[in-house]
């Protein structure tokens, strides 16, 4: 009996202690500064002209609770948190039940987050699963509950959750899917929308209607079990044929969301933005975004592909002089796939790798006329085997050709010979200097683009050619200001001279050979179809693999990079290889339409000389009646008739 008395006293002590702790926490929370939830995570994005192009707490339209269908409100509560109005942010019985189920069935799928917890996560936190993040979530949950009514919390939650296809908030979702306000939603429509936030992609009725209907059934069944609706009402709602605003949603969709995602992705990497910035009055983010360029890019992507094509696309339009990204596309349709291929995917780059090789060659004594023999070649390897690349369509000149010709035809034999002549490390070091950080293998096929590189990184690497030798850092954000006017971050255009400007000028001239009819001989330049279409002068290089197609071109004003391919690496067909070039051509020409014909090109450096040559061989030519071409050389390196072919020089 004495033992029981001691245990009872101990339990009372623990209970009193817990009550004091809880009371102390509650008092501390009440005395803490009130969270400003309506403006937390509120962001305003400004374009390059300081004009707002996005504003809101991810949701563009905020509606009050009385402007939301009762069916939607009830469906949300009885699906997400049926005890919402009876707890203080945490449903401990639900937590214990979830733990029991997870342990018993060895399944961690059961969750117990309340609406307040989910709201705190949406407003203030990222989605990592660290213990620190969980403690922060709990702390924000308490602060929200202590300072706001349940109706205010529910209203904020419904205005900020993700309903898929880039639509945050119930009003946006309601108009997107059904073309009506949230107040007008029927039980059938409300129950379908309620099911989406659990997994916006998997339960999107536009992508996976079967999954969405199964989830809708669960939502409706919860309402029946809670005696909110009858079984008859459930059956009627479930069987109701829903009409989605398919055509309207296409128009409402804007691939500008890819750019917005890129901005937010960069924001997370800026260390000067404090972790608790979201407790203030939001952020003003000034970007490098150009609305006109984005519109041009989007329209050209939209007009290029057949509707039944499975191909995807990524494109970057960049200011080569600062690294600021003007426009970006991460896929054909953000509604169908929000995966941002422009900043997250890595693809084999094909022959777009070759300009880095040819700059290395120029730096190591090659000239525009330096010659190798174009012929089938097997290269001995250290392991005793042979590497035997082939030219596209197996076309060979079987004669010495100049570097200019090799670039025009995108000759693989010439590229591998150059690569092995210089040594594997030469190309890798040039790529590193211009900012390409991906792993590059020391193999003969490296200049043929067998390694995978991100398109944003490639655009930045080509920017070093476009700006005559300066490494730039690609970025989207110019400045970040908090709600009180404090500048939290300001980008500085970091430019480091890493390449010889005169050699870059020569390389850029060589890259115009890709669409120059003077190089028509045993083969055709790779972009000869653009010869009569381009109104401005550009350096241009394409790249092809079995599953990737690239076009990257530039002048001193802009770099435009385009990738086309399949996410599953399915092989491209012959007709698929035209899409990247078409997008590039139409986009860059429209961007430069008001620029004078030569205003985008470069002045010849004083130590560079122009010389009339026969383009295929690169030999001097003084007869203008024959096929000739003006090509460029560092002073003192002009070609002579007796210059040797590099095949005659043993490879070290």
Q: Distance between CA atoms of 330 and 324, rounded to whole angstroms?
A: 17
> Which of 57, 69, 71, 80 is flagged as catalytic?
80
Q: Which residue blocks in 107-239 are alpha helix, DSSP H? A: 115-124, 131-147, 150-158, 170-178, 187-195, 209-225, 231-239
Q: What is the sign, positive or negative, of the torsion defined by CA atoms of 199, 203, 208, 214?
A: positive
Task: Identify the residue whose tokens are 């904020």.
Answer: 156
Give, in order, the Cα–Cα distances in Å from 345 to each of 217, 223, 278, 446.
36, 42, 29, 19
Number of other CB atoms surrounding residue 32 within 10 Å: 13
How many residues are given for the chain?
652
Give, in order, the Cα–Cα distances in Å from 395 to each of 37, 387, 511, 636.
66, 18, 20, 34
Number of other CB atoms surrounding residue 552 within 10 Å: 28
Q: Distance between CA atoms of 525 and 520, rounded to whole angstroms?
A: 7
Q: How many CA atoms lie within 13 A of 66 on its CB side?
A: 0
Rounded (5°) CA angle 122-124-126: 70
- DSSP 3-state assignment of 194? helix
638 catalytic residue (yes or no): no
CB 543 within 8 A of CB 448: no
351 catalytic residue (yes or no): yes
Tokens describing residue 276: 């608790």
The residues, any chain, with a CB within 8 Å of residue 214's CB and separated by 6 or more, are none
User: What is 387-450 written as a DSSP string?
Assistant: E----GGG---SSEEEHHHHHHHT-HHHHHHHHHHH-HHHHHHHHHHTT--S----STTGGGT-
Q: Cβ-count burial of 109 within 10 angstroms (0-12 exposed, 13-18 middle, 19+ buried)?
A: exposed
Q: Distance between CA atoms of 475 and 496, rounded to whole angstroms?
A: 15
> Which of 351, 368, 369, 410 is flagged as catalytic?
351
In 3D space, the residue among 92, 149, 89 whose CA is nearest the CA of residue 120 turns out to be 89
* b/e sequence 572-606, b meaning 16+ C-beta within 10 Å: beeebeebbbbbbbbbbbbbbeeeeeeebbbeebe
Number of other CB atoms surrounding residue 640 within 10 Å: 8
Q: Distance between CA atoms of 160 and 178, rounded to whole angstroms?
A: 19
In 3D space, the residue among 158, 112, 117 whose CA is nearest the CA of residue 141 turns out to be 117
User: What is 293-344 written as a DSSP string?
Assistant: HHHHHHHHHHHHS-TT---EEEEEEE-TTT-BEEEEESSS-TTT----HHHH
In 3D space, the residue among 581, 571, 529, 582 whose CA is nearest the CA of residue 348 turns out to be 571
Residue 355 Rama label (left phi>0; alpha psi -120 to 50; beta): alpha
- Rg value, the chain, Cα: 31
In the chain, DSSP finds a helix count (H) and a strand count (E) of: 21, 20
Q: Which residues are catalytic?
A: 80, 351
């Amino acid at each position: 009996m004495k033992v029981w008395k001691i245990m009872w006293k101990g339990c009372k002590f623990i209970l009193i202690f817990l009550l004091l702790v809880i009371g102390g926490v509650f008092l501390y929370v009440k005395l803490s500064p009130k969270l400003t939830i309506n403006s937390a995570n509120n962001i305003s994005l400004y374009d390059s002209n300081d004009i707002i192009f996005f504003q809101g707490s991810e949701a563009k339209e905020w509606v009050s609770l009385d402007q939301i269908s009762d069916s939607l409100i009830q469906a949300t509560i009885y699906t997400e948190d049926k005890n919402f109005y009876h707890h203080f942010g945490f449903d401990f019985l639900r937590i214990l039940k979830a733990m029991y189920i997870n342990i018993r069935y060895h399944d961690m799928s059961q969750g117990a987050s309340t609406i307040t917890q989910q709201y705190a996560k949406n407003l203030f936190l990222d989605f990592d699963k660290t213990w620190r993040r969980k403690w922060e979530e709990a702390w924000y949950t308490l602060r929200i509950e202590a300072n706001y009514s349940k109706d205010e919390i529910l209203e904020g939650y419904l205005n900020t959750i993700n309903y898929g296809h880039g639509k945050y908030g119930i009003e946006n979702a309601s108009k997107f899917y059904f073309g009506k306000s949230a107040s007008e939603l029927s039980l059938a429509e409300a129950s379908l929308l309620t099911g989406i936030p659990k997994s916006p992609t998997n339960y999107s009725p536009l992508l996976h209607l079967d999954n969405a209907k199964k989830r809708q059934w669960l939502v409706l069944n919860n309402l029946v079990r809670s005696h909110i609706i009858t079984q008859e009402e459930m059956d009627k709602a479930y069987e109701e044929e829903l009409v989605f605003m398919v055509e309207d949603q296409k128009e409402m969709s804007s691939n500008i969301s890819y750019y917005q995602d890129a901005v937010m992705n960069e924001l997370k990497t800026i260390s000067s933005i404090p972790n608790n910035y979201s407790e203030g009055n939001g952020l003003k983010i000034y970007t490098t975004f150009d609305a006109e360029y984005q519109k041009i890019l989007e329209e050209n992507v939209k007009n290029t592909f057949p509707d039944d094509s499975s191909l995807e696309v990524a494109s970057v339009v960049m200011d080569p002089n600062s690294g600021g990204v003007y426009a970006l596309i991460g896929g054909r349709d953000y509604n169908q796939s929000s995966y941002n291929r422009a900043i997250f995917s890595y693809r084999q780059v094909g022959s777009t790798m070759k300009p880095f090789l040819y700059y290395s060659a120029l730096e190591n004594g090659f000239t525009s006329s330096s010659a190798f023999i174009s012929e089938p070649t097997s290269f001995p390897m250290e392991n005793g085997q042979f590497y035997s690349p082939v030219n596209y369509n197996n076309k060979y000149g079987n004669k010495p050709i100049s570097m200019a010709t090799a670039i025009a035809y995108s000759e693989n034999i010439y590229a591998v010979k150059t690569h092995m002549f210089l040594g594997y490390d030469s190309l890798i070091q040039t790529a590193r200097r211009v900012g390409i950080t991906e792993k590059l293998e020391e193999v003969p096929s490296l200049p043929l683009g067998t390694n995978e590189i991100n398109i944003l990184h490639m655009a930045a690497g080509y920017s070093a050619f476009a700006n005559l030798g300066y490494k730039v850092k690609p970025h989207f954000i110019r400045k970040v200001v908090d709600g009180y006017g404090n500048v939290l971050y300001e980008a500085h255009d970091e430019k480091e001279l890493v390449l010889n400007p005169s050699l870059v000028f020569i390389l850029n001239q060589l890259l115009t050979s890709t669409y120059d009819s003077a190089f028509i001989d045993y083969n055709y330049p790779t972009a000869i179809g653009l010869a009569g279409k381009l109104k401005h002068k550009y350096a241009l290089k394409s790249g092809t693999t079995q599953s990737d197609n690239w076009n990257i071109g530039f002048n001193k004003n802009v770099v435009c990079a385009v990738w086309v391919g399949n996410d599953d690496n399915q092989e491209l067909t012959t007709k698929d290889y035209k899409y990247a070039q078409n997008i590039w051509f139409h986009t860059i020409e429209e961007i430069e339409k008001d620029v004078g014909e030569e205003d985008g090109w470069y002045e010849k450096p004083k130590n560079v000389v122009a010389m009339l040559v026969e383009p295929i061989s690169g030999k001097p030519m003084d007869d203008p009646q024959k096929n000739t071409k003006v090509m460029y050389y560092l002073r003192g390196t002009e070609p002579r008739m007796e210059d040797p072919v590099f095949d005659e020089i043993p490879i070290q």
